[in-house]
Structure 1
Amino acid sequence: MEEVDKILIHALKQIGTDVSEEISSINQFSSELIVKAVVRCIQVINPGLGSPLPSSLPPAMSARFRVGMSLAQACQELGYKGEIGYQTFLYSSELEIRSLLMFLVEKLPRESSEASDQPTGKSVVLQRAIAAAIKAQLSVPWLPMNCRLPLHTETQSAGPLHSFHTLPLSLPYSSTGLGDKYEKEEKEYQRDFLLPVTAQISHQPSMVASILEHHTTVLSAVQQWDNEWNSQGLLSRLTPQEYRARKMARLRKRIKEQLRSNAHPSPEGSFRSSHSSNDLSEVLQMFKSPSSSDHILTKGTHFTHTQKFTFEQEPAAVTSPVPTGRQSDGDVQQRQQAEIESLQQQLQQLCTEIEQLTTDMKHMSVTHTQVLNEIKQKELMNKETEDKIQVKKKTLDFLPDSDNSLQKLQAQVEASAARLVNLASQWEKHRAPLIEEHRRLKEKCSNQELESSRKLSEIKSMQEKIRVATEEARKKEDIHKQLVTQLENLPKDVSRSAYTQRILEIVSNIKKQKEEINKILSDTRELQKEINSLTGKLDRTFAVTDELVFKDAKKDESVRKSYKYLAALHDNCNQLIQTIEETGTILREIRDLEEQIETENSNKTVANLERILEDYKAIRQENSVLAAKIKEG
């Protein structure tokens, strides 16, 4: 048991229990140390169950009994099947405490196969610590503000609450697919001008939400690209760069076509917007200087030149001489008003004429299109008619000498048929190798497609294997980092070889004990066999002797007495054997009783009874003090 106690003490030290170096056995554990060790184990196994438990015994006896009952209940909830109660902690027994600590140490969390499949490292340790803290806080019941203790005030304070609001971020990711120049400029921008993440966000509580949103966006983009590449990119038989370039070229082409279709509307739309374009030219005319007004239209039709000539001549005709001083200002204004009205009438008339001409032009363009279509149809009809006329003319030419013409036609038909037969034979000569070549190429193409599909499936399987191997390598690297961290955190004064040597000694002792047990069992079996054989031999000998003596006893009186002595000897031997067996049974019971006495002595029954009496006196004293306080109140 000494080795078992050392292993238990070492495990308790590893989980943070303050065990003195002088203590080397469970028998040396005090009630305070037992409570500390059990509470610490429960906190490590189930933080939610162990967080409300006190780590030390209170001074009041009633509170101690309550603490013992709560610890016993917690151990039972963890699955302990042995007998346990408050007496286990207050009046401890070495065997009970050893079995309880062995159960709790076996329940401590260890690295299982499921945990090894998950990523490990410092981040995972931090996440586990956060989860344990949150679970411990959630296990504490909620209390109103007026009923909270200082512990509850720390864990249940309202604190600042903020909504989940995200803001755009710019992170220094290395861009791919750009040129060296753009990549260099982007790196310079990220190095010299890009602000840190904490400075890019004006609302500080939104920083975590923004980082999570940006990270989720990047992960979804990477996953979408992987899915597209595995489904379509591999089938295109291009490299990732070529596939991206082709996709970008297609996108640019579609944008150009869309812009081109929007920039060049249909003819109907051009006719509709003619009036608006005239209005636009007039608006531009208003912003031009007078000196450049004559150069707005660099090219015009006969109608525009005529209108320009009219606008240039008519104002010269209607201009009046410079008013003299005899004319009043009112006359000048009336004359100007009359000129403006006449010019407006002329402008309105010209606009009406322009609209009428525009309508006529539209009608003429439609009529022109219809006429062109009719001309094309007429030309086609004329061509067909000319062909028919040529055929009829040639037929009429053959009519005067029909016999010779028929013979000539028959000769031409026969020559054409012979030529067709010759061409067919030549075609067959060329057709057979071409068909063979076509079949060979087709079979080769199908083989290449099968080979490409097989290679494609192999590439996909290799990619899957690479992904799995990468994940396993990453997990093993994380496990290695975690083990290195744990190794660094372990005490340096502990020698691994000492533990290994101790384990080997324990194993060798167990082997020796097994060998001794097997030897004792084999000796016992041999003795039992020998006893059985001797018993059988004795029974058979007695039966034969009894039969012989009984035969002679019928004839001789002295032999009859010998037969009686033989029967008495047999009964005495049976009684002797029975007495020996009962003696062995009594000796075994004596040994069992001695072991029970040793067990009771190890349980410190007398000391526990003395402690119980002292606790009983303390409880009576506390009750008397409380009764006195109640009477005084």
Structure 2
Amino acid sequence: MEEVDKILIHSLRQTGTDIGEDVESVKQFSSELIVEAVVRCLRVIDPALGNGLSPSLPPGMSARFRLGMSLAQACQDLGYKGEIGYQTFLYSNEPEIRSLLMFLVEKLPRESAETSDQPAGKSVLLQKAIAAQIKAQLALPWLPPSCRLPLHYKTQTPGPSYSFHAQPLSVPYSLKGSSKKQPKEVREYYRDYLLPVTAQPSQPISVPASLLENHASELSAAQEWENEWNSQGLLTRLTPEEYRSRKRARLQKRIEEQLRSTAQPRPDSHSATRSTSDLAEFLNSFGGTSAGGNVLTKGTRFTHTEKFTFTQEPEKAAQQMAAAANSLPSSHQSEEDLKAQQQEEISGLQQQLQQLSVQIEEVGGEMRQLTVSISQVSDELKQREVRNTEKEDSVRVKKQTIDLLPDAENNLVKLQSLVESSAKRVVHLASQWEKHRGPLIDEHRRLKELCSNKEMESSRMLSEIKDLHDKIRQSADEAKKKEGLYKQLITEYETLPKDVSRSAYTMRILEIVGNIKKQKEEITKILSDTKELQKEINGLTGKLDRTFAVTDELVFKDAKKDESVRKSYKYLAALHENCTQLIQTIEDTGTIMREIRDLEEQIETEYGKKTVSNLEKILEDYKAIRQENSALAAKIREG
């Protein structure tokens, strides 16, 4: 049973049950530990069935009884056929608990059991520890702040919370970058001037969020590139660098076309002149030109008018300011006169500004009308040019016809001979073409078939390449897993005691196997001896019955004639009866001895069930229930 208990304890620890290192057998399990082990197993086997059960015993007795009944019902739903009830968990005994735990361990999913038996890396162990800590914190009941003890403040008091604010980071080595060697200047910048990642965000609180955002964007970009390359890149039969450069060139071409289409003036648009001026300013800002030089050198009437107006206005303003300065008296004026004069000047300037804005709007309207009229005139001009070309062609044909009219008969004969020669030439060319057409068609079919074969071969090779990519990815994943497993095994091997050798475990296993073989041999020997004894007993019994029958018959014949023989017959019958009673007594004695052994075994099992201690627990629980009932009754009377 020791080996069975060790296997059970190991499996229960893998399910998340908190079993101490000093617990070595099921006999040492307490009621709390039994409940926790059963609930953990139920959650692994059927989460919907076990998530509603608490892994810890509640303080109240009624709640304990309800929890025990719920656990018993859940085990019966899983298919447990043994006798089970609330007493199995509250007043447990070793055989019942062992059989129940063996049933639950056998019901555990094999995949989880296999993965739990395999050692994992440090990251997996850390994740398991985090998950166990979170489960333990979630299992604790929530309490309001006024009822919390100092022990609960560590787990139920919320810590400082901050908003998730990510900022862009500059990382020297990134998945987004190309695999080409970086220039020397970039590497010097990274080495000498780039700040650490923790110092780049404006606030230290944003560092984790920025790192998570950067890492997620890199992973998504790598995943998108891999999907695009597997779905579209491989079909182009280009290298990844060529595919990237081709994609970049197409993107630049699209941007240039979009800019050109935006830069072109649209007569039907209301803001054509404004877009032209905005584009000019945009190009000036990029080209680094001065304010006087314009990239769009071809001016319009509106631009010339605007230039003339805004170049003349500063001169007028300067003249007015000079006149106002000359009109000031030499004596000191009061501040009110100055303010009134400034107000008059401001009102005059505002009126001029309004007049200028009205003039600008009028000029803009005229410009729009002119652009519309220009577009209409240009369309009419194009149509007239097309009509003129058609008329010129018709005039040229009519002129040639008129030139041929004076000598019409000769010209008709010449034209007919020319048509006949053209027809003969066409027939001759058709015959020659038929001669060349057959081999060309055969060559075309051959080349087409060869091209289709090459396409099929390339598609087959492409599918093989994709399969190889998948196999490489799977092999890389398996290699990573095996490498983590190897590291974990190395760490476990280093932590194992060096004084215990493998041969000791091997010898122990061989000894256990040898003992089992000896026990089997002894059992088979005892069974064979029992069978032999039973056969011998049956043979002797039959021989005794036959001997008694023959002796009885012979003696009975002589007893009719001789008195002494009659007495011997009576003694023979008495001896046979006494021997029968003796055999019956021996059989009864054996039956009684077997019953005694069965009773002794039952007594030992009853002692193993802890009947006395369970009765004491039942009495204590009964007293606790009576106290709870009295307390509830008192509350009801008070209410």
TM-score between the two structures when normalised by the length of structure 1: 0.62
Cα–Cα, structure 1 residues 513 and 172, in superposed 2: closer, same or farther, change >3 Å? farther
2-structure distance, mates of 1:6, 1:115:
19
Q: How does 1:26-425 map to 2 (within 5 A)?
A: 38=33, 84=88, 112=112, 115=115, 120-174=120-174, 176-177=177-178, 180-182=181-183, 184-266=184-266, 273=273, 370-371=380-381, 373-391=383-401, 393-394=403-404, 397-399=407-409, 406=413, 414-425=420-431
Q: What is the CA distance between 1:392 and its match in structure 2?
A: 5.6
Over 3 Å counting, the alpha-carbon distance change for 1:166 and 1:74 in structure 2 is farther
The one-letter amino acid of 1:394's match is L
CA distance, structure 2, for counterparts of residue 172 and residue 275 of structure 1:
41
Alpha-carbon distance between aligned partners in 2 of 1:146 and 1:329, rounded to the nearest angstrom: 82
Q: Relative to 1, partners in 2 of residues 1:181 and 1:146: Cα closer, same or farther, differing over 3 Å?
A: closer
Q: Who wins on radius of gyration, i.e. which is larger? A: 1
Preserved contact between residue 120 and residue 485 of structure 2 (Cα < 8 Å): yes
Counterpart Cα distance in 1 of 2:167 and 2:208: 10
Deviates more, 1:589-598 or 1:508-517: 589-598
* 2:475 is the counterpart of 1:469: yes
Residue 590 of structure 2 corresponds to which residue in structure 1? 584
Unpaired runs of 5+ in structure 2? 44-50, 285-291, 309-326, 330-351, 628-639
- Conservation of the 8 A alpha-carbon contact between 1:142 and 1:156: yes
Amino acid paired to 1:383: D
1:369 deviates by 6.8
- The one-letter amino acid paired with 1:149 is L
Once residues 596 and 466 of structure 1 are traced to their aligned partners in structure 2, the CA distance between those partners, rounded to angstroms, is 64
Distance (whole Å) between structure 2 residues aligned to residue 365 and residue 603 of structure 1: 108
In 2 relative to 1, CA 484–394 (structure 1 residues): closer, same or farther, beyond 3 Å? Answer: same
1:141, 1:487 → 2: CA distance? 40
Per-residue deviation, 1:570: 8.3
Where does residue 348 of structure 2 map in the other structure? none
Q: Distance in 2 between matches of 1:597 and 1:358?
A: 115
**Cα displacement (A) at 1:70:** 12
Give the residue type in structure 1 aligned to 2:178: G
Query: Contact 1:137/1:155 (CA < 8 Å) preserved in 2?
Result: yes
Task: Write out per-residue CA displacement over residues 33-91 of structure 1, whole angstroms, 9 at most, x where no aligned residue.
Answer: 8669959985996899999689xxxxxxxx9x99x999999997996977657776xxx
1:501 paired with 2:507, answer yes
Quick one: which amino acid aligns to residue 390 of structure 1?
Answer: Q
**CA-CA distance at 1:171 after TM superposition:** 2.8
Query: Partner of 2:524: helix, strand, or coil?
Result: helix
The structure-2 alpha-carbon separation of the partners of 1:76 and 1:482, relative to structure 1 and needing over 3 Å to count, comes to farther
- Tell me the CA shift for residue 13 of structure 1: 12
In structure 2, the CA distance between the partners of 1:216 and 1:16, relative to structure 1 (3 Å rule), is same
User: What percentage of aligned pairs have identical amino acids?
Assistant: 53
Say if 1:186 and 1:387 are closer, same or farther in 2 by CA, change over 3 A.
same
1:513 matched to 2:514: no
Amino acid at match of 2:215: H
Distance 2:4 2:275 in 1: 105
1:347-398 per-position Cα deviation (integer Å, ceiling 9, x unaligned)? x9xx999x99999999689657745653552343232232244246436524
What is residue 325 of structure 1 aligned with on the other side?
Answer: none
Q: Is the 8 A contact 1:39 1:71 kept in 2?
A: no
**In structure 2, C-alpha distance between the alignment counterparts of 1:13 and 1:359, rounded to whole Å:** 89
SS of structure 2 residue aligned to 1:234:
helix
Tell me, yes or no, if the aligned pair for 1:201 and 1:207 is still in contact at 8 Å.
yes
Q: Could you tell which deviates more after superposition, 164-173 or 365-374?
A: 365-374
Indicate conservation of the 8 Å contact 2:267/2:372, yes or no: no
Tell me: CA distance 1:119–1:9, structure 2 relative to 1, closer, same or farther (3 Å): closer
Q: Aligned partners of 1:250, 1:237: CA distance in 2, in Å?
A: 17
Displacement of 1:111 in angstroms is: 8.9
Q: Which residue of 1 aligns with 2:321?
A: none
Contact 1:169 1:197 in 2 (8 A): yes
Residues 588, 272 of structure 1: alpha-carbon distance in 2 compared, 3 angstrom cutoff: closer
Aligned-pair CA distance for 1:430: 0.6
Q: Deviations over 1:594-624 (max 9, x none)?
A: 545666788999xx79x989x99xx9xxx9x
TM-score (norm 2): 0.62
Change (3 A) 1:545 1:116: same
**Partner amino acid for 2:214?**
H
What displacement does 1:157 show?
1.9
Greater shift in the superposed pair: 507-516 or 479-488:
479-488
Matched position secondary structure for 2:262: helix
What CA distance in whole angstroms lies between the structure 1 residues aligned with 2:487 and 2:584? Answer: 71
Structure of greater relative contact order (alpha carbons < 8 Å, 6+ residues apart): 1
